[in-house]
A and B are shown apart, each in its own frame.
Chain A
Amino acid sequence: MSWLLAAPIVIPFTTAVLAFLFRNGPEGRWISIIGSAGLLIASGLLMQAVLADGVIARQMGNWPAPFGITLVADLLSAVMVVITGVTGLAVAIYALADIESRLEKLGYHALFQVLLAGVCGAFLTGDLFNLYVWFEVMLIASFGLLILGGRRQQLDGGIKYVTINLVSTILFLAGIGLLYGMTGTLNLADLHLAVQEVENKGLLTVVAVMFMVAFGVKAAVFPLFFWLPASYHTPSVAVSAIFAGLLTKVGVYALIRMFTLVFTEDVEYTHTILLWIAGFTMVTGVLGAAAMNDFRRILSFHIVSQIGYMILGLALFTPLALVGSVFYLVHHIIVKANLFLVAGVARRIAGSTELSAIGGLYKTAPVLGLLFLIPAFSLAGFPPLSGFWAKYILVKASLDLEMWLIAGVALVVGLLTIYSMTKIWGSAFWKPHPAGLEPKLGSLSNRDRTALILPIASLAILTCVIGLFPEPFVQFAERAADQLLSPTDYVQTVLGLEATQATGLAQLEVGP
């Protein structure tokens, strides 16, 4: 059974090695696609097992917890791995047409697969230091992908991205050191029990805030997001799509994990900070987007603003709010990656991502217009698309707590999102092309067109499916949020039953 948990990490690593060996030929890209498909299948099997058996945990190398490294999958981890598989496969197919052979020879596919491995590892690990290691795996791969090709713009964005991420890494590491000094353990489940016995609660809160800042940088929340709009529009489209979909969400996942499982001692203090962060993140992100005039840069700022919604769910810390967060995470990854892919096609056929330099897409490429509208409206929260339900749950959760202000902010930000989406629509799709070009999908070769449109269409269909049949997804999110708020199962599965009974976990449970 332990292969089930290890497979989402092992498969991409193996694929990376093979893809690197065959990087000079056309085999590399097909290996990458097969590997991504393998990852999707493995994640599906994992999801099935988690749905059937509840939380699954395996001790790597058979060292008993909390001494060895544990891999754990609860519903949140499992769904994140599945969604990694989906986006990974979509982007791998898109890369067939998007990544030139020069970049392939430099090892694009290998880096891409290492990135997927790092992301899956971060979702599945049950050990804090191991989480740090996976963050590093993910980071170094993303550094490579970001500057692959070495254009001057990429180097410029890369320097900002690399330096600020290193700062966050160091904070994370120092936080781990301090937490270990206080509790003597690094296993997340064990930490859940150990922090309750820490006497110096003040120091614990300080460490909690260190983690908040460290993960906040990765998740690109206000006021730590400046690296994101500085770098995400510079690499190849496939790269920025996978970054936009997955990377910041690993930060959000880490925040959710740490602030539901470990740092729940001073919810009043930490989650109030998170609430302010959420509000400011939403507003600054969407205002930044309104000021931009480039397809991908508008979308980059929107990532920031959407991260605010996910943090909002965590900050409210009620069952319904966490349902909203989980739902939002899943919906957002699909939609955001998809929008970047659409921007790539627009650049391919119209020549640029600068809004003033393109136009006329609606007239000559109506299919692309439709494929843009679905994720764009979903992002803004139009019913019946997936974004509507995500926003609806979060707004309802804040109204239930009588937090009128934050509910209002969430709604207004939704409106402003529509504003910048219509800006893209107006300039890229409606107005005639300034150079008189007639951008057509037909100008692409058959193979390129399939490779570009297939992933976009599939992700758009997925968005529609979530939007039209939200019931099972919401139910799933409810179960996931339930597990997050009462981590008894998680802790028991990881540590084995006896250990938790001895400490009387049942009374110590946190919950609404």
Chain B
Amino acid sequence: MELLISIMVGVMIATGTYLMLARNVLRFIFGLVLISNAANLIIFVSGRLVAQSPPLIPEGADVPPELVANALPQALVLTAIVIGFGLFAFALTLVYRGYQSMGTLMSDEMRLAEPKEDGQ
């Protein structure tokens, strides 16, 4: 199971990197979304996966009776998803606004802040 998810992470990062190499900013953002989800999966897997044993402690006991799933990575992933969601909502809006005012999505053509100087 861990191996499978690791391979999946690899594929997602590879795909994401390919998308991020594009000059089109929108593609770049999509690649970023893929990689950020891969990062979430990394955290998830690094807590080790145990099937069918929820982290519940029976009444009266202090520790769970047997090996249970690690709950901490899931809490971390949840936090990371929420933060990531906010950031990507912002990034997409920003790119859309940029497209509206600059009329392009190509990063090569975005030279307003750093205009080409003579002789270049």
Contacts and interface: CB of A to CB of B under 8 A. Distances in A.
Contacts of B43: 173-174, 176-177, 180
Interface string A116-155: 0000000000000100110010011001000100101111
Nearest to A146: B94
Q: Is the interface of B mostly helix, strand, loop or mixed?
A: helix
B54 interface: no
Nearest to B88: A166
Contacts of A180: 43, 46-47, 73, 76
A155 B87 contact: no
B42 A162 contact: no
A418 B40 CA distance: 46
B87 A169 contact: yes
Interface residues on B, range: 35 or more
B86 interface: yes
Contact of B42 (A155, A159, A167, A177): A177
Given A166-B32, A173-B80, A233-B113, A155 B101 contact: yes
A129 B113 contact: no
Interface residues on A, range: 35 or more
B16 to A, nearest CB: 9
A181 B76 CA distance: 13
Interface string A230-254: 1101100000000000000000000
Contacts of B79: 129, 133
Interface string A85-105: 000000000000000000000
A509 interface: no
Interface string A407-426: 00000000000000000000
B51 interface: no
A152 B102 contact: yes
A140 B86 contact: yes
Contacts of B44: 177
Contact of A181 (B47, B86, B110): B47
A293 B118 CA distance: 12
B57 to A, nearest CB: 15
A178 interface: yes
Contact of B87 (A150, A166, A229): A166
Contacts of A266: none
Contacts of A158: 94, 98
A453 to B, nearest CB: 29
17 contacts: A140-B90, A147-B94, A152-B102, A155-B97, A159-B25, A159-B94, A162-B91, A163-B25, A163-B32, A163-B91, A166-B32, A167-B20, A170-B35, A177-B46, A180-B46, A181-B48, A293-B117
